[in-house]
Structure 1
Amino acid sequence: MPDTVAVLSDIHGVLPALDAVLAEPDVRDADVVVLPGDIATGPQPVPTLDLLMSMGERVRWVSGNCERVLVEHARGHGPEESQ
């Protein structure tokens, strides 16, 4: 059971802000980091995901509405295809 948990939401692919938050002592030292969605849609999705994925088992992922839209789009079911 983890002693400390940090919850980071609505990152929206903004890598400089994510770097700043991850450097905060309470987040840096947390046993678990929970990501409750809206992580990648934004200006720097790939480096943002790469950084978070590099944190390994320490991170717990929960999909948000932006992740649902990205997955639907990747499967060819984006908003433009459903009209």
Structure 2
Amino acid sequence: MSSILSRVTADQRRDVASVVEDLISVLALGGVKLPSIEIDWEHGRLTGCYLVQLGSARTLELRRVVDLLRKGLRYERLTFDD
């Protein structure tokens, strides 16, 4: 049964790995490194739903993430509200 689930969820595994890689890259461009990001492969293997654990981070890093998100939202509003 698990091999069937494995075949069915192959695209999901690739997708979650890709999005985590993108997140790490974007955060790095913004000067942020969250050292504990990981994919819960076991949960996905059992359920077909892959979860991303963002892990622990220092307050300084989280403030930077919030700052980047706010700037991105401001840019998005300026770009798409016109």
Bin of the TM-score, shorter chain as denominator length: under 0.3
Greater fraction strand: 1
The TM-score with structure 2 as length reference comes to 0.24
Greater fraction helix: 2
The TM-score with structure 1 as length reference comes to 0.24
